[in-house]
Structure 1
């Protein structure tokens, strides 16, 4: 049941989450002098403490302990942990390699990849307009390949990895904070091994550059975890249609930053690519909204 108050607070939480994600490139640019993999490791390490604190004060550790009762759940969360770690690492590298526009394109494509996974895994029906949206995405990727002579591989890997991450989390069906904690704990041994190794080699950045760099690396845990908490809060209080439309705030902000703040090249080839993607999203979102409106009207008549 969606009440006005819960929908309002859910919408506020969703907007906060997507604005946070959308503005993340500005944050990661502050640690562009730190190797991307080292930033990723600090992102995971400090998330452990932040998520652990949230789990302690918000939902308790019972949901986390329950994960270990199911080998299937543990396996799915292991896969999701590896996928989200790879996604985070590529995202940070891309932002600091002046590919913010590619990250924007990737997260625009993600919902459509998720739809295709729904068709393949859950046997969801793909409606004609949705198929048109998918074909427009293919046309957009093809346009970039033909006009710019390059495949937007960063966009595709980000979209596919995050969509697969969402699929694994849906199949695992665990409470969001408990699942995030499991994924973080899973990656911690590798993180500690790497951070200790570079410290012993004398190539670590943490505690060896300046206090501001240290602050940004520690803050990476909050930047990673806080919007996930807001998103989980919103997902319980908003209709999927509303949440789906609001999620485009994030790649739109990244797009604006890439073009106007970071002055990344934006040619006619890029414009045509994004026009295809935006058209696909307009079709996909509009068709979904109309479909749910018809279902609601039918339910009221019955």
Structure 2
């Protein structure tokens, strides 16, 4: 007899470790450019997810979606595509630490959106976490002479993605499939144009490289399916705490393997972010009800986020 919580921990840990190690995979796709990699990611994710729906006998669900849901998923598709594109650029241009920062501050951005959009009230612990995050961003901006644009782009696009997904009622597999299908015409057209112009890399770098580009679909979709399985079995607090495996691994990759610069001011900024997240996590655990149930089926996305008072659970990462 299986233990749902144990299985959930395995699925959740697998998803977040997978996302955390994604920078290594995207480096293997060079010399293809960021937009070309993004297009392949969209195209082959759509193909893979259609196969998943076919095996699960859920293709009929696509016809049963309401127009309102299609429009919501169109907005989600645009946001997650932008998030994926920025992340691929960061992974292939030596900005993995910036990407990690984006996913570290994403839960705090989501709390802020909850306040601004849904008029949700925050307690003093959440307010303290937000102030610490603001201080960290100011410090990081001053230390490098510019705001952390990549981190902001990742955090904001994913937070708004969660905002849209909060109102979507669709099976996770169906939702992600629709998001990739809606982006498929643009992505496919871009790849065809590249190949016609002789600037594509799908067939020019050898069989191994072509195979890796094809794998961009499963590499994107499998952790989403693992996350969906974990969300059905784990409480939101547990799922949220597991989330930090993802940016922690990304940061480790950027510092230890990518040898990205980490001056003292940057370490201090990250320390403030970690303190803010610790305050938020402690508040979430403190307010957890004894009979808290598993998160249920989350809406789908590039990656998942920890629980917060605003957007629905769903992820990016990477």
Residue in 1 that maps onto 2:104: 108
Shift of residue 4, structure 1, vs aligned partner = 8.2
Give the distance between the partners of 1:251 and 1:193, measured in 2 at CA. 33
Give the distance between the partners of 2:29 and 2:265, measured in 1 at CA. 30
Give the distance between the partners of 1:277 and 1:4, measured in 2 at CA. 38
Shift of residue 147, structure 1, vs aligned partner = 1.9
Q: Could you report, residue by residue, the CA deviation over 1:47-77 in whole angstroms, capped at 9, with x for unpaired residues?
A: 111101111122512332222xx22211111
Higher mean alpha-carbon deviation, 52-61 vs 212-221, is at 52-61
Give the distance between the partners of 2:20 and 2:291, measured in 1 at CA. 35
Residue in 1 that maps onto 2:258: 262
Task: Answer 1 or 2: which has greater helix percent.
Answer: 1
Q: Could you report, residue by residue, the CA deviation over 1:177-226 in whole angstroms, capped at 9, with x for unpaired residues?
A: 10111111111111121111111111110011112211111000011100
Residue in 2 that maps onto 1:85: 81
Residue in 1 that maps onto 2:212: 216
Q: Tell me how large the CA RMSD over aligned residues is.
A: 1.6
Among 181, 188, 194, the alignment partner of 1:192 is: 188
Higher mean alpha-carbon deviation, 111-120 vs 229-238, is at 111-120
Shift of residue 118, structure 1, vs aligned partner = 2.4
SS at the partner of 1:257? Answer: helix
Shift of residue 11, structure 1, vs aligned partner = 1.1
Q: Could you report, residue by residue, the CA deviation over 1:12-47 in whole angstroms, capped at 9, with x for unpaired residues?
A: 100000000000001011123111100000001111
Q: For residues 284-299 of structure 1, what are the structure 2 equivalents within 5 Å?
A: 284-292=280-288, 295-296=289-290
Q: For residues 105-184 of structure 1, what are the structure 2 equivalents within 5 Å?
A: 105-184=101-180
How many pairs are equivalent? Answer: 292
Give the distance between the partners of 2:167 and 2:91, measured in 1 at CA. 30
Give the distance between the partners of 2:128 and 2:114, measured in 1 at CA. 16
Alpha carbons 1:64, 1:181 under 8 Å: kept: no
Residue in 2 that maps onto 1:21: 19
Residue in 1 that maps onto 2:249: 253
Q: Could you report, residue by residue, the CA deviation over 1:235-283 in whole angstroms, capped at 9, with x for unpaired residues?
A: 1111110000000000000000110111011101210110011000000
Q: For residues 215-254 of structure 1, what are the structure 2 equivalents within 5 Å?
A: 215-254=211-250
Give the distance between the partners of 1:203 and 1:228, measured in 2 at CA. 31
TM-score by length of 2: 0.89
Give the distance between the partners of 1:127 and 1:210, measured in 2 at CA. 56
Which runs of at least 4 in structure 1 moved beyond 4 Å after TM superposition? none
Q: 1:242 and 1:297, CA in 2 relative to 1: closer, same or farther beyond 3 A? A: closer
Give the distance between the partners of 1:247 and 1:228, measured in 2 at CA. 13
Give the distance between the partners of 2:200 and 2:126, measured in 1 at CA. 48
Choose 1 or 2 for highest CA Rg. Answer: 1
Matched, 1:7 2:5: yes
